[in-house]
Amino acid sequence: MANLLQEYANVAGEDVVDHLRQLAAPLEGMKVVHVNSTRVGGGVAEILAKLVPLKQELGIDVTWEVIAGEADFYATTKAFHNGLQGNRVDIAKDRLRDFESTNERNAEELRSTLEAADMVFVHDPQPAPLLGLVPERRGKWIWRCHIDVSRPHRPVWRYLRNFVAGYDASIFSLAAFAQNLPHVQYLIPPSIDPLSDKNAPLPDAALRAIYEEFGIDPDRELMLQVSRFDRFKDPVGVIEAYRLAKKFSPGLQLVLAGGAATDDPEGAAVLEETKSAAGDDPDVHILLLPPDAHRTINALQRVADIVLQKSTREGFGLTVAEAMWKGKPVIGGDTGGIRLQIVNDHTGFLVSTPEGAALRIRYLLHHRDRLAEMGEEARSYVRENFLLTRHLREYLTVMVALANRAEDRIEL
């Protein structure tokens, strides 16, 4: 018992786990259900795969249900996703009807579980209509939105809002994503899992192997950006910053690590732009990694001297927290969720141009003591603010608050 909690205590601190136990005590035995639309793949499933067993260890009677649908249903919900992130999408009426009837079928299946629950967390738009399909519910229902809805395509949000408005509360990742809704909204930023393959410590041999695998010289400085090939991640700007910084550090090498070009036509175009900006420079390595290359990314983040995330627009930027957790100050674009993570001159530097990035690269490479100090600050900042344990603590806090809504004072 309590093995998983102990593992987190070893990384995040005993006090952090004690605090979780304290918060969970009044919730003991509470029936909680999480509902989403996939058991594997994607950030939501990854988070639930960890949060659900942790809540169970804390004595909460929690289960995780997954709604099922046909290909058309997922095509529609993918269109919702794109629409919520700001793309203009037009969804036909029969598609919407299919979306609703898929939810009706799932409500039949899940009805008794959902009716009996004290608290139901419904994740993202796919299962959002369930609330209206379980009229005999007795618990509190919370809609948890993991999507960047800062500038949604209005018709899509108007349609989904009808399903969401009746919830008791909703949770968004950042203040910029909050919406006009007739209930209380909580803000819970994302987190990284310190025990996952992406973030757990690696043996030295795994780090040495990375140099060999990708032909990187371990005796020269290395700068890194890990990102999908997307214009908002500004890979060409990273190459410009590298070129400017190389004038002062002639040995500098650059790795741009991203996913292989998939069916995303824009991704393929951005990859081509990036390759052509890199030209035939043998010190620029553009790596096309498979989606499960977590240990490779982990190793790259550990061996890099300098980590960039030069986005011009960013929801949160998990790569920033990932690198900071590995003791790297991050030079990041002054935008979106990157601003939550980079405390300028402490955990990294916020920049707006390749020139600004190059200046900071030069500074860190020439002040190794500052680089190490800022790296330590970065790691502590992630330990305090962006680990899974903080994420769980905030979920528990929301649960305590909602379970005691009528009280004006909550004894913890």
**Binding site residues, ligand UDP, CB under 6 A:** 198, 226-228, 257-259, 289, 297, 316-319, 322
Nearer to ligand UDP, 120 or 171 (CB): 171
Minimum CB distance to ligand UDP, residue 41 (Å):
12
The residue number with the shortest CB distance to ligand UDP is 318
What are 395's two structure tokens? 């979920």
Minimum CB distance to ligand UDP, residue 132 (Å):
30
| CA separation for the pair 108, 326 (Å, rounded) | 46
Q: In what order do the strands lie in the sheet with 140-144?
A: 61-66, 31-36, 119-123, 140-144, 169-172, 184-187
Nearer to ligand UDP, 101 or 262 (CB): 262
Nearer to ligand UDP, 237 or 258 (CB): 258
Minimum CB distance to ligand UDP, residue 84 (Å):
14
Minimum CB distance to ligand UDP, residue 293 (Å):
6
Minimum CB distance to ligand UDP, residue 83 (Å):
17
| CA separation for the pair 7, 5 (Å, rounded) | 5
Burial 119-143 (b: 16+ CB within 10 A, else e): bbbbbbbbbbbbbebbeebebbbbb
Nearer to ligand UDP, 193 or 305 (CB): 193
Nearer to ligand UDP, 80 or 325 (CB): 325
Residue 194 vs residues 8, 246, 390: alpha-carbon distances, Å: 8, 33, 12
Q: With beta carbons less than 8 A apart as the criterion, state whether 310 and 237 touch.
A: yes
What are 318's two structure tokens? 């998990």
CB atoms within 10 A of CB 217: 11
Q: What is the DSSP letter of 270?
A: H
Minimum CB distance to ligand UDP, residue 228 (Å):
5
Nearer to ligand UDP, 289 or 403 (CB): 289
